[in-house]
Chain A
């Protein structure tokens, strides 16, 4: 790479150069960076709404007995909280935001392979979200099935399940098209000299993710269509009174929805893998092991779905098979954690906000992962199935894991996105609040879960009161932390960001901040002996 000529800089992608100005210029832009940002803004709105719904649930749970709303409202709350958080925030999550913004630059491309398709998937995302949210205001009231839409209840309830299910279907379609786009992009548009094993590890994780998106999402798509057909035409696949089988629904649902967890977490792991070597100022330890473990997680993760169904009446054979596979999928995840720690070892670590969040990710992801193993074990699962323990476990993964990686990624790429720095002190405070609040909120749920607190109940026995109240205060701290973060990032303009504020080595740090529309003035190449993480 030669240095950019700076005498006549190209206008950045944030400047409108097309025929439209302002909002229209964004809504019609096929630029991958702008689409990534649009996803980010949309997601922050949905995350705020979903978080608010979560706080509303915690208010109800502050004391035993009914406080403000009855069971029906509470059922509606956790259902829409789940739908928003799962389908509109964490599943598109890091892939849609940072995959769009950074991945093409990191592999040395001008854009994704199909820019217009990319914009189309963004619109499908918005459309799906609107349809899913419309379920709250139309028909016979908000759906009350939980985000899992388990049959046969989802085909019997009179609430507006069809809108929510169809919204999820459209969101799934958007996810498929994003995955398709990324696969082709990474196959066809890498910079000259960048072989697959010279590609940075965030794109690697996106590659693995994209395959799951493409191969798992259609299964839930067809399943959701079957739910709609059950409700409209009584086809009866999942209706025991017609000869159908509700357990079959659970199989089909989790064939997608477990791999979906890896759709969420793999890009998160990828981001952490980018951040840690930059702030440890060392080459990543075990590059190939991390790349391959991403693919291994994607592959094995496809075949662990039935560990959600140990208590559903499955055969004993299936239960031990899936338990075994569940333990196997922990191995590549552990390899990654090992490599991150080994990268930090003897590194010259500079503790900046992105790194703090990355550390937070490792800590929370470890707890989430370990408790996941106890859930994957057949005997303990029977005890804690459908308790608050499960709630704590998956929040540690999808919020502690994906959420914190998302925040880390925002702090990491923010200077590149907007060409501005932010206040480190404020960012550190946001970490303190988010991290403390998170643990206060979810750790007690492990304990009351083991004590027997069921999930999805609006009422509980008096012995769980203390745990629920600690959780409430955790939720408040968490909300404060999130607000501090928003203020840090969006309140006022910080100092102008240099091209490479952190000393990163991947391609995006070799171009101006914010990048010009076409990313590179001179298309980059990767030298024969050059790797993605060669530190000088």
Chain B
């Protein structure tokens, strides 16, 4: 029952991911110094999503798991986004 192919991620890859994540953190902080008014939150969320994507695929190993795991997380996130949208259909149109 052992996983058929065990993928071992190298230390180097992990380090590069970490450096990218730290760089993105730096970017998201710098961006707040620029006044983008309405876009601020959007930019912050986009950068956070990129970071989350890196953590999910690499640190959490989704890249190398069976596609079932990716389908599931996609489904869960889609449901959550729909929940937010449907709730906003109340708040944005009051």
A15 interface contact, C-beta 8 A: no
**A321 with B86, Cβ < 8 A, contacts A215-B76, A215-B79 known:** yes
Q: How many residues of A contact B (CB 8 A)?
A: 17
A335 interface contact, C-beta 8 A: no
A13 interface contact, C-beta 8 A: no
The CA of A348 and the CA of B57, in the complex, are separated in Å by: 55
Expressed in whole angstroms, the minimum distance between the Cβ of B65 and any Cβ of chain A is 13
Within A240-271, the residues touching B (CB, 8 Å) are 247, 251, 255
Within A292-307, the residues touching B (CB, 8 Å) are 302-303, 306
B89 and A317 contact, CB distance less than 8 A: yes
Q: Enumerate chain B residues within 8 angstroms of A306, measured Cβ to Cβ.
A: 86, 90
Expressed in whole angstroms, the minimum distance between the Cβ of A20 and any Cβ of chain B is 30
B93 and A318 contact, CB distance less than 8 A: yes
A314 interface contact, C-beta 8 A: yes
A316 interface contact, C-beta 8 A: yes
A2 interface contact, C-beta 8 A: no
B83 and A315 contact, CB distance less than 8 A: no
Q: Enumerate chain B residues within 8 angstroms of A215, measured Cβ to Cβ.
A: 76, 79
Q: Which residue of B lies closest to A321 (CB)?
A: B89
- Partner of A315 from the list B68, B79, B91 (CB cut-off 8 Å) is B91
Q: Which residue of B lies closest to A317 (CB)?
A: B93
Interface string of B69-92 (1 = CB under 8 A from A): 000000010010011001101111
Within A211-252, the residues touching B (CB, 8 Å) are 215, 219, 247, 251
The prevalent SS among residues of A at the interface is helix
Expressed in whole angstroms, the minimum distance between the Cβ of B55 and any Cβ of chain A is 20
Q: Which residue of A lies closest to B68 (CB)?
A: A187
The CA of A322 and the CA of B93, in the complex, are separated in Å by: 14
A315 and B76 contact, CB distance less than 8 A: no
The CA of A255 and the CA of B85, in the complex, are separated in Å by: 13
Q: Enumerate chain A residues within 8 angstroms of B93, measured Cβ to Cβ.
A: 315-318
Q: Which residue of B lies closest to A312 (CB)?
A: B90
The CA of A322 and the CA of B88, in the complex, are separated in Å by: 12
Q: Enumerate chain A residues within 8 angstroms of B86, measured Cβ to Cβ.
A: 303, 306, 318, 321-322
The CA of A255 and the CA of B90, in the complex, are separated in Å by: 14
B94 interface contact, C-beta 8 A: yes
A314 and B90 contact, CB distance less than 8 A: yes
A251 and B90 contact, CB distance less than 8 A: yes
A318 and B89 contact, CB distance less than 8 A: yes
Q: Which residue of A lies closest to B88 (CB)?
A: A318
B79 and A302 contact, CB distance less than 8 A: yes
Most A CB within 10 A of own CB, among B68, B82, B92, B94? B94
Q: Enumerate chain B residues within 8 angstroms of A318, measured Cβ to Cβ.
A: 86, 89-90, 93
**A303 with B87, Cβ < 8 A, contacts A215-B76, A316-B93, A318-B93 known:** no
The CA of A319 and the CA of B82, in the complex, are separated in Å by: 16
Q: Enumerate chain B residues within 8 angstroms of A303, measured Cβ to Cβ.
A: 82-83, 86
Q: Enumerate chain B residues within 8 angstroms of A219, measured Cβ to Cβ.
A: 83
The CA of A10 and the CA of B54, in the complex, are separated in Å by: 52
A251 and B87 contact, CB distance less than 8 A: yes
Most B CB within 10 A of own CB, among A187, A318, A321? A318
Q: Which residue of A lies closest to B87 (CB)?
A: A251
The CA of A317 and the CA of B94, in the complex, are separated in Å by: 8
Expressed in whole angstroms, the minimum distance between the Cβ of A191 and any Cβ of chain B is 16
Within B23-41, the residues touching A (CB, 8 Å) are none
Expressed in whole angstroms, the minimum distance between the Cβ of A529 and any Cβ of chain B is 26
Expressed in whole angstroms, the minimum distance between the Cβ of A13 and any Cβ of chain B is 25
A315 and B94 contact, CB distance less than 8 A: yes
Q: Give B contacts to A, CB under 8 Å.
A: 68, 76, 79, 82-83, 86-87, 89-94
Q: Give A contacts to B, CB under 8 Å.
A: 187, 215, 219, 247, 251, 255, 302-303, 306, 313-318, 321-322
Beyond A315-B94, A318-B93, 10 extra complex contacts between A and B, CB < 8 Å: A215-B76, A302-B83, A303-B82, A303-B83, A314-B94, A315-B90, A317-B89, A318-B86, A318-B89, A321-B89
Could you pull out 9 A-B pairs where Cβ atoms are within 8 angstroms? Answer: A215-B79, A255-B87, A302-B82, A303-B83, A315-B92, A317-B90, A318-B86, A321-B89, A322-B86
